[in-house]
Structure 1
Amino acid sequence: MYVPKEFQEKDLQQLITEMKKNGFGILLSNNNEAKIEATHLPFIIHEEGEKLFLITHLAKPNPQWKSINGKECLIIFQGPHAYISATWYEEKNTVSTWNYTAIHAYGNVEAITDKDEMRKIVLRTTDYFEKGQAKPWRYEDHQEYVEKLLSGIVCLKIEVTELIGKKKLSQNHTMERREKVIAALKSEEKYSSKEIAELMKGKEQE
């Protein structure tokens, strides 16, 4: 990912926090024919000392897992985004753009097919995403059904080797322009306009 200096997010802990907040990403890898494959997946972000792991599972009929074990992959976590109209600057010689945040995580893949390990991963994933539900889903209530499903999945444990964070929030524009963009975004209903406005306000306060 191309990241100009003004858009870099260098705080690794901040990137990890944002991945935990938005745990749904896109797993990209090359298959044995050098064709790019992609799967949209939920990820558990797990820290072990200084190491960082992304853990997920996918359907066994999905061919991506068959060529990924022991290789490098890329996971993309797309954050909020919004269209920025050049008309908001109220100046000549300006162009429209797009503000957004994104995290790219590179890592090495270990495929896990042991049923006991997969059960632990699936239950851990469910527990994580069920937090806050009025009546969380419980394995004990669906044990027989879940055990049958385990034969149809494969789990992946990815050790992260590089994290790249990008926050494109009009940092390359003047304070006056940024304030005009924030005001305009607050009245927009498309995309993640209001969330981008809040992120831009936060950048101004740093």
Structure 2
Amino acid sequence: MYVPKEFKETDLNQLLAEMKKNSFGILLSNNDEAKIEATHLPFIIQEDDENLVIITHLAKPNPQWKTMNGKESLIIFPGPHAYVSASWYEEKNTVSTWNYTAIHAYGKVTIIENKYEMRQIVLKTTDYFEKGQSKPWKYEDHTEYVEKLLSGIVCLKIEVTELIGKKKLSQNHSSERREKVIAALENEEKYSSKEIAELMKAKLNTSS
């Protein structure tokens, strides 16, 4: 991912928080024919001592996992995004653009087929995403059914080797232009306009 210095996010705590918030991402890898494969998956981010580990699971019939063990993969965590119209600047010689945030995590893959480890990963995933539900789904209520399903999935552990964070929030424009964009985005209903407006406000406040 190309990241000009003004858009680069280097705060590890900030990156981890955003990965956890937008934890439904895209896993990419090359198969043996050098073809890029991709799967949309939920991910759990774990801080293991000094290492950062990402875990997930995918359907066993999905061929992507068969060529991943021991190799590098890329996980893309897309964040909010919004179209920025140059008309909002109310100036000549300007162009429209797109504001967005994204994180790319590179890491080495380990395939997990041990039933105990797989069960723990599925339970961690369920517990994480069930938080906040009025009546959370519980493994104990569906033990026999879940145990049967374990034979139909494969779990992955990705040890992160590199994190790249990007926040493109009009930092390359003047404060006046950024304030105009924020005001316009707050009135937009498309994409993640209001969320981008809030992120732009926070970035503007920290840089001013």
> Could you state the TM-score of these two structures normalised by the residue count of structure 2?
0.98
**SS in structure 1 at match of 2:204:** helix
Q: Residues 166-201 of structure 1, C-alpha deviation per residue, up to 9 Å, x if partnerless?
A: 000000000110000000000000000000000000
In the aligned structure 2, how far is the partner of 1:43 from the partner of 1:66? Answer: 19
1:80-99 to structure 2, matched below 5 A, reads 80-99=80-99
3-state SS, counterpart of residue 70 of structure 2: coil
Q: Which moved more, 1:91-100 or 1:16-25?
A: 16-25
In 1, Cα distance between the equivalents of 2:152 and 2:178? 50
How many residue pairs match? The answer is 206
Name the SS of the counterpart of 1:118 in structure 2: helix
Please list, as runs of the form range in 1=range in 2, the aligned pairs for 1:180-191 lying within 5 A after superposition: 180-191=180-191
- Please list the CA deviations of residues 27-79 of structure 1 after superposition, one character each: whole Å capped at 9, or x if unmatched: 00000000000000000000011100000000000000000010000000000
Q: String of CA shifts for 1:3-39, please: whole Å, max 9, x gaps.
A: 0000000111210111111111100000000000000
1:44 alignment partner AA: I
**1:140 counterpart = 2:179:** no
1:65 aligns to what?
65
Q: Distance in 1 between matches of 2:188 and 2:13?
A: 31
The alpha carbon displacement at 1:205 in A equals: 1.0
Q: Which residue of 1 aligns with 2:199?
A: 199
1:53 matched to 2:57? The reply is no
Give secondary structure in 2 for the equivalent of 1:93: coil
Give, as a single letter, the amino acid of the residue that structure 1 aligns with 2:146: V
Relative to the length of structure 1, the TM-score reads: 0.99
Alignment-derived partner of residue 151 in structure 1 = 151
- Rounded Cα–Cα distance in structure 1 between residues aligned with 2:80 and 2:97: 14
Counterpart of 1:21? 21
Greater than 2 Å deviation, 4+ residue runs? none
Question: Which amino acid in the other structure matches residue 183 of structure 1?
Answer: A
**2:100 counterpart of 1:116:** no
**2: distance between equivalents of 1:16 and 1:187?**
30
Other-structure match for 1:174: 174
Amino acid in the other structure paired with 2:34: A
- Aligned-partner Cα distance in 2 for 1:85–1:133: 38
Q: In the alignment, residue 67 of structure 2 is paired with which amino acid?
A: S
Flag structure 2 segments of 5+ consecutive residues without an equivalent: none
Structure 1 gap ranges (5+): none
Structure 1 residue matching 2:64: 3-state secondary structure: helix
Which residue type is aligned with residue 168 of structure 2? K
Which residue in the other structure is 1:129 paired with? 129
* Other structure's SS at 1:37 match: strand
Cα distance between partner residues in 2 of 1:22 and 1:50: 22
Q: Deviations over 1:76-131 (max 9, x none)?
A: 00000000000000000100000000000000000000111100100110001000
Letter in 1 for 2:201: K
